[in-house]
């Protein structure tokens, strides 16, 4: 073979290959399958996946190769054979086709022929390829082997007799999720894929093993046996349980949402989907879904007496409440996952009624610095290129699972990850250094010389600030310290927006010109509009919220007619959830993304923008004359947020700062972040849903004479709760860790707590 390149005009890092007679340029070190895929030349495969390490297990991609006029003695796996200059590849000649057909025959020896009852039927890679490479008659008459199924938890169903040992699921849990929960046991014909310990999958990304499985061995347990793929219609939608805004498809049958699957977007979620976004659609069909407008008849107990009403009657009642309590007497509180279109209309509604009491930052306590959501200084797709990452006040793996996965990719490339947290949360990567301190000391830890020394010399430093810091009573101090640390070390600050559309709502003016959310509740108004909020669980201070709302007239635009909504509202107007809305959301990169309405709206529920348009028309306000969504979008102009007022913040926080007891560190329970996830039964049965409890450092538990499993009485000036104790040295001394989203822990608010045996 000549030392001269076939094509001297190519860059020095490329070579010339010929695949089925087509001349191609391919990067040195890449594999035949990469060049073929880029050129659109099909090569069958099972084990190969472009996001996973090459395994070369299945051998389905065997091809014939020739170099310098000499043919290789046997077929080569295209996924594991590097390209070289002048290489000729034949994917469809007799030698290649015979090899591929023989591999298919071996794969089908033990595979059950149960396509008619297999949930993967119709979208199965084995089924598709067997049509082109399989035989019509089997030459084997021996009994097929049977593999016992394993319970992998409430999300993933198993039929392991169908498994072809491609190991995609093993590589996913090891390389992408980082949990190493699946593996191959035994050898040869007896090889089986399963968990080592027989326990359910605990990774927050477990549903992705369903997508990578090329057969029906791993399927969606929630979707199983509910529909066939050809019965489904796909609608483009978005995940709205965190600020990443994962792209996904919702699959519908006769208007009902059957399942969610990932929609590829390399800049956002790649080809993955968190379990929270994949399974939360179950909550759409909860028993307490708001189906018809409701009007309070009289107070009778906690949630009063209600009767169903027409939309006209309910809107008339709502309009009367707002007319009677306009201007400064009115507060408008908005869930931070509300769409841009709805947010713009809520801002118009508030302006038309003369109130500047408007806010979406309902879960944040310390807004004394006027903090607003800001786009990431480092785009999500670039985080994996960082060489040093500092995580501040965040259980990142639960808060934004696929952002955590990007950090893992950076770590795999050699990045050093440092943590400043009140709890030693679990991450799927090694931590180079960590400061586990109480919330009041997070800012001081960020200023420590040790941390600065740890990141010295980093060319690409990324600082990520999360919900534990942003939603606590020391948030302003921590934000300032994080900003100073990033600036002093040539890093970029990335504060996770607290809500799926917090950034979009800030841009569309859902911000206070007078009282912020905390001030509206501390100094109650005579009436409120609450939008998309579950009053008993979504506020930073539940006690103050329920007290203020309970003593006022309340118009609730709600997805659910839950007990806490019935307790405080006077009118309940049923609206669409994020999966049922034509909507635009702005993710943490500042990227505007659109979702289309998927699924039939239940009962008389309406999309939120249509309900707001009707109410604005009833009130005769300006800006509500549009007739369709296109007209609304055309009328919306977006500008930079002008800032937000925070009234009396320090005076409200002062009593909390002066209390005695253990400091509270509060993180979000991964599957209790909003009304939809709380009602998704499969997510509530997941091992990561641990229930309401309080975690203490062993020294603090010993001082309180408490052991793991004991019940403790926990209290402060905000409220009291009886919680099960979890003793762990992961919690900083002098600190108590609880998860929000549970009724019991919601009663405690923030600050400090006293803990004693119940």
SS3 for 62?
strand
Neighbours of 443 (CB within 10 A): 24
Residue 136 lies in a domain: no
Residue with tokens 């947010």: 343
H/E stretch holding 469 reads: helix 467-470
In 350-415, beta strands by DSSP E = 358-359, 388-392
DSSP state of 218: E
* Residues 519, 473 share a domain: no
> Which pLDDT score is estimated for 198?
85
Q: What is the mean pLDDT of residues 144-152?
A: 90
Q: What is the mean pLDDT of residues 241-258?
A: 96
Burial class (CB in 10 A: 0-12, 13-18, 19+), 627: exposed
Residue 132 lies in a domain: no
Distance of CA 387 to the CA centre of its chain: 25
pLDDT above 70 (res 679): yes
> Which pLDDT score is estimated for 658?
66
> Which pLDDT score is estimated for 180?
95
Residue with tokens 């038309």: 352
* Residues 274, 147 share a domain: yes
Burial class (CB in 10 A: 0-12, 13-18, 19+), 88: middle
Residue 353 lies in a domain: yes
DSSP assignments along 263-316, one per residue: --BTTTTBT---HHHHHGGGGGG-TTB--S-EEEEE--SSS-EEEE--HHHHHH
* Residues 743, 679 share a domain: yes
> Which pLDDT score is estimated for 650?
58
DSSP state of 423: B
pLDDT above 90 (res 360): yes
pLDDT band at residue 645 under the 50/70/90 scheme = low
Q: Which residues, including other chains, have CB under 8 Å from residue 271's CB and lie 6 or more apart?
A: 51, 211, 262, 264
Cα distances from 187 to residues 159, 192, 391, in angstroms, run 19, 8, 42
Distance CA 498, CA 470 (A): 8
Neighbours of 530 (CB within 10 A): 25
Q: For 22-32, how does the pLDDT look when each residue is reduced to its tens digit (9 = 90+)?
A: 999 999 999 99
Domain that holds residue 218: 141-284
Distance CA 676, CA 702 (A): 38
Residue 628 lies in a domain: yes
* Residues 387, 310 share a domain: no
* Residues 231, 208 share a domain: yes
Distance CA 192, CA 188 (A): 9
CATH code: domain of residue 80 = 3.10.20.740
> Which pLDDT score is estimated for 11?
85
Q: For 595-636, how does the pLDDT look when each residue is reduced to its tens digit (9 = 90+)?
A: 999 989 999 999 999 999 999 999 999 999 999 999 999 998
Q: What is the mean pLDDT of residues 254-268?
A: 96
Q: Which residues, including other chains, have CB under 8 Å from residue 460's CB and lie 6 or more apart?
A: 385, 386, 387, 388
pLDDT band at residue 535 under the 50/70/90 scheme = very high
Residue 434 lies in a domain: yes
> Which pLDDT score is estimated for 1?
45
pLDDT above 80 (res 267): yes
* Residues 487, 520 share a domain: no
* Residues 362, 215 share a domain: no
Residue 685 lies in a domain: yes
CATH code: domain of residue 701 = 2.40.40.20
Q: For 382-397, how does the pLDDT look when each residue is reduced to its tens digit (9 = 90+)?
A: 999 999 999 999 999 9
* Residues 534, 519 share a domain: yes
Assigned token pair, 253: 């049958």
Of the candidates 33, 48, 272, 81, the one whose C-alpha atom is nearest the C-alpha of residue 171 is: 48
Report how many domains make up the chain. Answer: 5
- In degrees, rounded to 5, the angle at the alpha carbon of residue 573 between the alpha carbons of residues 570 and 576 is 150
Three state DSSP letters for 559-620: CECCHHHHHHCCEEEEECCHHHCCEEEECCCCCEEEECCCCCCCCCCECHHHHHHHHHHHHC
* Residues 506, 490 share a domain: no
> Which pLDDT score is estimated for 113?
85
Q: For 284-323, how does the pLDDT look when each residue is reduced to its tens digit (9 = 90+)?
A: 999 999 999 999 997 665 666 899 999 999 999 999 999 9
Boundary (domain end) residue, out of 448, 475, 495: 495
* Residues 92, 24 share a domain: yes
* Residues 487, 515 share a domain: no
Q: What is the mean pLDDT of residues 546-559?
A: 96
Residue 356 lies in a domain: yes
Burial class (CB in 10 A: 0-12, 13-18, 19+), 736: buried
CATH code: domain of residue 222 = 3.30.70.20
Boundary (domain end) residue, out of 230, 263, 284: 284
Assigned token pair, 318: 């709502």
Q: For 235-244, how does the pLDDT look when each residue is reduced to its tens digit (9 = 90+)?
A: 999 999 999 9
Boundary (domain end) residue, out of 453, 471, 495: 495
CATH code: domain of residue 512 = 3.40.50.740
DSSP state of 493: E
* Residues 509, 362 share a domain: yes
Q: What is the average pLDDT value for the chain, to the nearest integer?
A: 93
pLDDT band at residue 659 under the 50/70/90 scheme = confident
Residue 517 lies in a domain: yes
Q: For 177-235, how does the pLDDT look when each residue is reduced to its tens digit (9 = 90+)?
A: 999 999 999 888 888 999 988 899 999 999 999 999 999 999 999 999 999 999 999 99
Of the candidates 90, 66, 78, 9, the one whose C-alpha atom is nearest the C-alpha of residue 37 is: 78
Name beta bridge partners: 462. Answer: 389, 492
Q: pLDDT above 90 covers what percent of the chain?
A: 85
Residue scoring higher pLDDT (142 or 420): 420
> Which pLDDT score is estimated for 141?
84
């Amino acid at each position: 073979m000549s030392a001269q390149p076939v094509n001297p005009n190519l860059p020095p890092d490329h070579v010339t290959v010929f695949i089925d007679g087509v001349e191609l340029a391919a990067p040195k070190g890449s594999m035949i399958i990469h060049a073929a895929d880029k050129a659109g030349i099909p090569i069958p495969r099972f084990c190969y996946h472009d996001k996973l390490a090459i395994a070369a297990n299945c051998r389905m991609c065997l091809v014939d190769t020739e170099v310098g006029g000499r043919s290789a003695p046997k077929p080569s796996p295209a996924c594991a054979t590097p390209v070289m200059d002048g290489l000729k590849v034949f994917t469809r000649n007799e030698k290649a086709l015979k090899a591929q057909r023989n591999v298919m025959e071996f794969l089908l020896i033990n595979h059950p022929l149960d396509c008619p009852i297999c949930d993967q039927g119709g979208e199965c890679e084995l089924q598709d390829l067997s049509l082109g490479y399989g035989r019509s008659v089997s030459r084997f008459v021996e009994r097929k082997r049977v593999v016992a199924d394993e319970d992998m938890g409430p999300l993933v169903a198993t039929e392991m007799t169908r498994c072809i040992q491609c190991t995609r699921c093993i590589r996913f849990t090891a390389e992408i999720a980082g949990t190493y929960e699946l593996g191959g046991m035994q050898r040869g014909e007896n090889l089986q894929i399963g968990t080592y310990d027989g326990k359910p999958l605990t990774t927050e990304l477990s549903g992705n093993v369903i997508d990578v499985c090329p057969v029906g061995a791993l399927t969606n347990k929630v979707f199983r046996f509910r529909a066939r793929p050809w019965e489904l219609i796909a609608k483009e939608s978005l995940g709205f349980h965190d600020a990443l805004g994962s792209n996904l498809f919702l699959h519908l049958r006769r208007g009902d949402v059957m399942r969610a699957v990932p929609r590829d977007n390399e800049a956002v979620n790649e080809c993955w989907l968190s379990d929270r976004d994949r399974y939360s659609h179950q909550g759409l069909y909860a028993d307490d879904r708001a189906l018809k407008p409701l009007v309070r008849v009289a107070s009778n107990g906690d949630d009063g007496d209600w009767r169903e009403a027409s939309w006209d009657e309910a809107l008339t009642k709502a309009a009367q409440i707002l007319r009677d309590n306009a201007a400064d007497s009115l507060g408008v509180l908005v869930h931070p996952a509300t769409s841009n279109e709805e947010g713009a209309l809520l801002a118009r509604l508030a302006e038309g009624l003369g109130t500047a009491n408007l806010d979406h930052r309902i879960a944040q306590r310390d807004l004394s610095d006027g903090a607003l959501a800001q786009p990431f200084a480092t785009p999500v797709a670039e985080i994996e290129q960082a060489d040093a990452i500092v995580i501040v006040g965040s259980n990142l793996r639960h808060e934004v699972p696929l952002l955590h996965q990007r950090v893992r990719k950076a770590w795999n490339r050699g990045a050093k990850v440092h943590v400043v947290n009140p709890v030693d949360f679990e991450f799927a990567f090694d931590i180079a250094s960590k400061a586990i301190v109480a919330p009041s000391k997070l800012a001081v830890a960020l200023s420590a010389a040790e941390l600065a020394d740890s990141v010295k010399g980093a060319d690409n430093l990324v600082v990520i600030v999360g919900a534990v810091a942003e939603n606590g009573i020391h948030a302003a101090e921590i934000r300032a310290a994080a900003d100073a640390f990033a600036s002093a070390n040539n890093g970029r600050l990335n504060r996770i927006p607290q809500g799926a559309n917090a950034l979009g709502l800030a841009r569309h003016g859902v911000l206070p010109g007078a009282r912020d959310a905390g001030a509206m509740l501390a100094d109650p108004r005579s009436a409120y509009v609450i939008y998309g909020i579950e009053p008993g669980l979504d506020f930073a201070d539940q006690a103050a919220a329920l007290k203020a709302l309970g003593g006022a007239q309340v118009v609730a635009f709600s997805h659910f007619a839950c007990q806490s909504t019935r307790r405080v509202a006077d009118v309940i107007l049923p609206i669409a959830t994020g999966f049922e809305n034509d909507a635009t959301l702005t993710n943490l990169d500042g990227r505007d993304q659109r979702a289309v309405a998927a699924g039939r709206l239940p009962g008389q529920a309406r999309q939120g923008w249509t309900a707001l348009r009707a109410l604005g028309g009833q009130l005769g306000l300006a800006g509500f004359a549009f007739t369709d969504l296109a007209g609304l979008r055309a009328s919306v102009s977006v500008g930079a947020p002008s800032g937000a007022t925070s009234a009396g913040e320090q005076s409200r926080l002062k009593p909390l700062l002066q209390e005695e007891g253990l400091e509270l560190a509060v993180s979000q329970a991964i599957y209790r972040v909003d009304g939809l996830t709380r009602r998704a039964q499969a997510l509530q049965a997941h091992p990561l849903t641990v229930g309401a409890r309080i975690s203490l450092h062993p020294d603090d538990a010993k001082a309180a004479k408490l052991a793991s499993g004991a019940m403790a009485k926990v209290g402060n000036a905000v409220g009291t709760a009886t919680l099960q104790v979890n003793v762990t040295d992961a919690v900083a001394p002098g600190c108590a860790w609880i998860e929000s989203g549970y009724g019991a822990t919601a009663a405690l608010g923030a600050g400090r707590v006293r803990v004693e045996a119940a």
